[in-house]
Amino acid sequence: MSDPIIACRNLTIRYPDSSPQIRNISFEVAAGECFALVGRSGSGKTTITKALLGLHHSETLIEGEIRFRGKNLSHLDQTGWKRIRGMEIGYVSQNPWSACDPRRPVFDHLREAWHCRGHRTSPSQIIEALERVGVIDAKDKAFSYPHQWSGGMLQRASIAAATAHLPSLVLADEPTSALDSDLASAVFASIKKRSSAVLLVSHDMELVMQNADRVGVLHEGQLVEIMSPKALNTAPHHSATKIFLDALDVGRSQPVKAVKAPIISLENVSVRYQDAADAILKNVNLSIAPGEIIGILGPSGSGKSSLLKLVTGLCKCVSGSVKKSPALERPGAIMPVFQDPSASLPLSWPVWRVVTEPLTASHLKRSSRKRRREIAKAALSEVGLGDLDIDAKAWELSIGQKQRICISRLQLANPELIVADEPTSALDTISCQKIAGLLTRLAEKGTAILIVSHNETLLKRICDRRFQVDPGTKNVSPI
Amino acid sequence: MLVAILKRTSQAVGSVLAATILVWFILPLAPGDPANRIFIARGINDATEGQLTALREEMGLNLPLLQQFFHWFGSLLHGDLGLSFTTGRPVLQEFLSYLPATLMMLGLALLLSTLAAIILSLVAVYYHDQWPDRLIKLYTGITAAIPTFVFALLALSYVVVGWQVGRVLSEVSWVTALMPAFIIGLDRAGGWIQLLRASLLEEMASGYAFVARSRGASELRILLRHAFPNSLKPLLSAIGLSVGALLGGAPLIEAIFSWPGAGSYLLSALTARDYPVIQAYVLAAALGYVLAAYLVDIAITLLDPRLRGTQT
């Protein structure tokens, strides 16, 4: 067997005066191999990625050995790292939009891969790099800004920048979690094409199963097993692996059949941006009944979010009509769940205050602080966070806990309709399962739920009806 | 877009109007009778009640406030700010003769403080948590704790009087404007550094900065090319807001340095209860504030492609 591209031996990573985040792990990635690290959020995947780029916090202590093509990187200084980063180790991040400076065209984002090393490039070289990873209309689009790109195309551009110098290893940190499932494999293929070895960090088991040659399971900072994806699926040894895999089976006990009158119905609705000529949605018909879970699937930019805005009343339709039941008129009747729970919580507030915020909406019946704390305690145990300290600040929690706090908060508003925009895409599979379970329980109590997601498996399991937004006709059709 | 512009403009006109109306009705509440002051200014210390009433009638001060306001506002629309009570000359003409000195000093102060804020914040962030950063933090702390006029008095007594550098001036030039401008700038820059430093640090910890590092970009490159343009928004807003504060603070600084600008003109008008002059200054300050806010809005829009273009 040839020398591995990268080999970690007894790697331990810790902050001073705290227990190690990564404990004594060893793995290697051979040339031509795709090695996947899977595990729950907080299991230490990102810590490893940062250490392999030499971008860990300066006070972090790293023990053990990182060997990259025979060279020991453990004691490399920043100048040495700079020589390796981008040239020999490429990095693809999770969210393509946050990976780009929002004030510069995508062209600049790519050009930087050359310019920051003092290399010259020509515009045609950059356009070529974009075309090589499958960006369509690269010439016209290159000079537009990141916010004007779709996620799939922008992630390809990021891959083109990360692999500009044909690195021998690419670290891909959840490279497809912001993308629709049908785009994910195509985008990932472009990474594999441009690099001889790939270290994939992901909780997208579908992607891992399809692409990884070997899978390492991380659990609380330790690498509990390394095996082929097939073996992982059929014969997992470690209990943590089993729990992780079980969580992939997100399930709904009994689908509710809707016979009640719809609480909201869209009739022949079209939506158009103010200055745009083309409609985003055309002649959409959709109705939602109490207790029903409706799933919306569709490629990025197909108008899914506009549909949600329409339902919540945040945008108006240009033609057709939206009929709402009078129950939706009161404040708090329609509540949203967002993709990024960190962005939808006041992070410096204690948990009890976050959860009971809906109670303060009415000026007439304000609850006392003591009462609010009691209500928070009860509400949290309902979402499985009964053990949580209600005085903990939201920023201390894991992302999965944060999303459960969001659900607990909206429960207290007693909504008739919940509108969820990719509620699980930032979460690992176990948290995803918990959120799905909570939403299902809410639906069984009679709340209508509209979910937009690119997680097809999730929608299949929990939705009563699923629809797809067709990017061509701009219409919504049942699946 | 047109609706947005109209809305913005009506807001601007509204705030200028509100400021002038407010001042118009508050001023007469202050003790002191303009007619009496005018006689004192003319050297007559014991004007009779008859003389005072005659003067009030002559100046229209006996009319109801509302009527006085509409009269003043009516002539304002014709570009006439009335006559000064004390000098009897047109206020607009007098005001405009004092204005350049003030604009010169405040403009220089704005320029100096902006430059200082930008350079020192960049240095502080580049040497984050090292001694240059700590030194700059100390400076911002000092300026936050001590009011501007203290610096002005210190500069006056030590630099000007003590070391005989420069003079206490009544002659207006760029060189003589430097001292008061420097004092104002020194004070202003402190707050702006705190603001800009914090937003630079935030940008340096953002996703795109991490990705740029992973491509091998240097910290200096990330700081100057990416973090800096992305963190200008709060600084621009602060600069816009401070234009109003600068115009309000100008009289104090001008008095300390005997700077013959509109601020000193306002101070003498205040003691003489010269209402038309005070009104003119308030009007100018409000206009300056609104104009600055306008320019900042435009600059922020131009700087951000997400606000500039259409959403797709």
In the structure encoding, which two tokens stand for residue A314, read together? 């945040």
Tell me the C-alpha distance between A112 and A82, whole Å. Answer: 14
What is the reported pLDDT for B9? Answer: 83
The mean pLDDT of B29-41, rounded to a whole number, is 79
Rounded to the nearest 5°, which phi and psi values hold at B251? -55, -40
| Contact in structure between A106 and A141 (CB atoms under 8 Å) | yes
Q: What residues in A contact B215, CB-CB < 8 Å?
A: 85-86, 91, 112-113, 116, 161-162
The upper half-sphere exposure of residue A242, i.e. CA atoms within 13 Å in the direction of its Cβ, equals: 5
Chain A, chain B: beta-carbon pairs less than 8 Å apart:
79
Q: How far is CA A171 from each of CA A6, A89, B214, rounded to the nearest angstrom?
A: 11, 7, 10
**B128 in A contact zone (CB under 8 Å):** no
pLDDT tens for A263-287 read 888 888 888 776 666 777 888 888 8
**Range name among A423-427, B184-188, B222-226, B279-283 with the lowest pLDDT average:** A423-427
- Distance in Å from the first CA to the final CA of chain B: 17
The answer to whether residue A254 scores a pLDDT higher than 60 is no
Which residue of chain B has the CA closest to A95?
B207
What is the reported pLDDT for B231? Answer: 93
What is the reported pLDDT for A158? Answer: 93
What torsion do the CA atoms of A116, A119, A120, A121 make, to the nearest 10 degrees? -80
Tell me the C-alpha distance between A200 and B303, whole Å. Answer: 36
List the single residue in B212, B218, B306 with the smallest CB-CB distance to A102: B306
pLDDT band at A29 (very low <50, low <70, confident <90, very high): very high
SS3 (DSSP) at A288? strand
The 8 Å CB, 24+ separation contacts for B19-25 are B19/B282, B19/B283, B19/B285, B19/B286, B20/B73, B20/B279, B20/B282, B20/B283, B20/B286, B21/B69, B23/B278, B23/B279, B23/B282, B24/B65, B24/B68, B24/B69, B24/B72, B24/B279, B25/B65, B25/B69
Q: Percent of chain A having pLDDT more than 70?
A: 94
Tell me the C-alpha distance between A406 and A341, whole Å. Answer: 7
Q: How far is CA A353 from each of CA A337, A370, A412, rounded to the nearest angstrom?
A: 18, 11, 12
How many other CB atoms are found less than 10 A from the CB of residue B246?
25
Tell me the shortest Cα–Cα distance from A85 to chain B, in angstroms. Answer: 5
Q: Are residues A276 and B310, on separate chains, in Cβ contact within 8 Å?
A: yes
Written as one string, the DSSP assignment of A221-257 is TEEEEEE-HHHHHH---SHHHHHHHHTT----SSPPP
Tell me the C-alpha distance between A175 and A131, whole Å. Answer: 19
Q: Percent of chain A having pLDDT more than 90?
A: 16
How many other CB atoms are found less than 10 A from the CB of residue B70?
12
Q: What single-letter DSSP state applies at residue A305?
A: H
More reliable by pLDDT, A127 or A304: A127
Q: Percent of chain B having pLDDT more than 70?
A: 94
**B215 in A contact zone (CB under 8 Å):** yes
Strands A71-72 and A319-324: unpaired
pLDDT band at B221 (very low <50, low <70, confident <90, very high): very high
Tell me the shortest Cα–Cα distance from B217 to chain A, in angstroms. Answer: 5
Nearest to A269 by CA among A225, A233, A320, A314: A320
What is the reported pLDDT for B230? Answer: 93
What is the reported pLDDT for A248? Answer: 61
The mean pLDDT of A307-327, rounded to a whole number, is 83
SS3 (DSSP) at A197? strand
List the single residue in B207, B303, B310 with the smallest CB-CB distance to A99: B207
Which residue of chain B has the CA closest to A91?
B214
Tell me the shortest Cα–Cα distance from A375 to chain B, in angstroms. Answer: 36
The secondary element (H helix, E strand) that includes residue B88 is: none
Q: What residues in B contact A147, CB-CB < 8 Å?
A: 305-306, 311
**B217 in A contact zone (CB under 8 Å):** yes
**A162 in B contact zone (CB under 8 Å):** yes
The helix-helix angle for B174-204 and B232-256 (nearest 10°) equals 150
The mean pLDDT of A288-292, rounded to a whole number, is 87
Nearest to A422 by CA among A443, A462, A451, A399: A451
**B221 in A contact zone (CB under 8 Å):** yes
What is the reported pLDDT for A35? Answer: 94
Q: Are residues B213 and A55, on separate chains, in Cβ contact within 8 Å?
A: yes
The mean pLDDT of B12-23, rounded to a whole number, is 87
What torsion do the CA atoms of A71, A77, A80, A81 make, to the nearest 10 degrees? 90
Tell me the shortest Cα–Cα distance from A163 to chain B, in angstroms. Answer: 9
pLDDT band at A469 (very low <50, low <70, confident <90, very high): confident
Burial class (CB in 10 A: 0-12, 13-18, 19+), A340: middle
The answer to whether residue A396 scores a pLDDT higher than 70 is yes
The mean pLDDT of A402-410, rounded to a whole number, is 88
The secondary element (H helix, E strand) that includes residue A66 is: strand A61-68
Q: What residues in B contact A107, CB-CB < 8 Å?
A: none
What is the reported pLDDT for B312? Answer: 37
Tell me the C-alpha distance between B129 and B120, whole Å. Answer: 14
Q: Are residues B305 and A102, on separate chains, in Cβ contact within 8 Å?
A: yes
Instruction: Share the mean pLDDT of chain B.
Output: 86
Q: Are residues A276 and B217, on separate chains, in Cβ contact within 8 Å?
A: no
**Range name among A85-89, A292-296, B62-66, B91-95 with the lowest pLDDT average:** B62-66
Tell me the shortest Cα–Cα distance from A319 to chain B, in angstroms. Answer: 21
Alpha helices in A174-228 (DSSP H): 181-194, 205-211
Burial class (CB in 10 A: 0-12, 13-18, 19+), A234: exposed
List the single residue in B212, B229, B303 with the smallest CB-CB distance to A112: B212
The mean pLDDT of B62-88, rounded to a whole number, is 84
**Residues 6 or more apart from A450 whose CB is under 8 A from it?**
A288, A294, A296, A308, A311, A417, A418, A419, A420
| Contact in structure between A439 and A420 (CB atoms under 8 Å) | yes
Q: Are residues A161 and B212, on separate chains, in Cβ contact within 8 Å?
A: no
- Distance in Å from the first CA to the final CA of chain A: 48
Q: What residues in A contact B4, CB-CB < 8 Å?
A: none
* Residue given tokens 């430059």 in the structure block: B115
Q: Are residues A99 and B217, on separate chains, in Cβ contact within 8 Å?
A: no
pLDDT band at A33 (very low <50, low <70, confident <90, very high): very high
The answer to whether residue B311 scores a pLDDT higher than 60 is no
Q: What residues in B contact A86, CB-CB < 8 Å?
A: 214-217
pLDDT tens for B141-163 read 998 888 888 888 888 778 776 66
**B199 in A contact zone (CB under 8 Å):** no
pTM, full prediction: 0.74
The answer to whether residue A256 scores a pLDDT higher than 70 is no
Which residue of chain B has the CA closest to A301?
B312
What is the reported pLDDT for A199? Answer: 94
Sign of the CA dihedral running A425, A426, A430, A433:
negative
* Residue given tokens 């082929």 in the structure block: A228
Rounded to the nearest 5°, which phi and psi values hold at A273? -70, 155
Q: Percent of chain B having pLDDT more than 90?
A: 31
Chain B interface test: which of A53, A77, A112, A315 (most B C-beta within 10 Å) = A112
CA angle (A196, A69, A89) in 5-degree steps: 55
The answer to whether residue B8 scores a pLDDT higher than 90 is no
More reliable by pLDDT, A330 or B192: B192
Q: What single-letter DSSP state applies at residue B244?
A: H
The secondary element (H helix, E strand) that includes residue A316 is: none
In the structure encoding, which two tokens stand for residue A426, read together? 């930032």
Q: What residues in A contact B303, CB-CB < 8 Å?
A: 103
The answer to whether residue A250 scores a pLDDT higher than 60 is no
Tell me the shortest Cα–Cα distance from B304 to chain A, in angstroms. Answer: 6
Beta strands in B38-156 (DSSP E): none
Burial class (CB in 10 A: 0-12, 13-18, 19+), B159: middle
Tell me the C-alpha distance between A344 and A419, whole Å. Answer: 14
What is the reported pLDDT for B133? Answer: 95
Q: What residues in A contact B309, CB-CB < 8 Å?
A: 145, 148
